[in-house]
Amino acid sequence: MYQATVNDRKFTVETEDISATKGQIDGQAFGLDVLKMQAGMWHVIRDNRSYTVISEGFDDENRVWKLTINGKPVQVGVKNKMELLMEQLGLNTSAGKKVNDLKAPMPGLVLRSVAQEGDTVKKGDTLLVLEAMKMENTIKSPGEGTVQKIMVQPGQAVEKGQVLITFR
């Protein structure tokens, strides 16, 4: 699954591969005929409409394809399943952008807090232990930083997406 963003409009794309020629966009089946004209240039037919697509490059930091479609510049943001999950957890996969919140990946019960407010943590350090579906889940630091506030306490039930820890 991928999420594509075009002109601030988000689409869910279900395919095996982002370069696939068939799949679903927001639940609607799509099919494409694609002919590669040369490196970075394709002729695409969808719903009996013809498009010339030229890749101007991929901005890896912002995860955006810069395209020209029939002479018009278009930017398409692309996030894969892992990037969407990281975003839901309050983590950030882009280098250079600060993580402010760590969110619960699922509903559960806070068993213990390993980190304390004011602690300096490194990427991968254990911060909390959350019990969900009778399993202990270790919640780790997404990067280096300082714990500003722990928003939960042991024994507290949390919902998916609830902020657990804020960083400064």
Question: Both 120 and 100 in a single domain?
Answer: yes
69 Cβ neighbours under 8 A, 6+ residues apart = 51, 52, 53, 54
In angstroms, the CA 44 to CA 32 distance is: 7
Tens digits of residue pLDDT in 98-138: 567 888 888 899 999 999 999 998 888 899 999 887 788 88
The model scores a pTM over 0.85:
no
What pairs with residue 75 in β-bridges?
A: 66
Per the structure, how many domains does the chain have?
2
Cβ atoms of 62 and 77 within 8 Å: the answer is: yes
Last residue of a domain, one of 59, 81, 103: 81
Question: Both 101 and 71 in a single domain?
Answer: no
Provide the residue range defining the domain that includes 58: 2-81
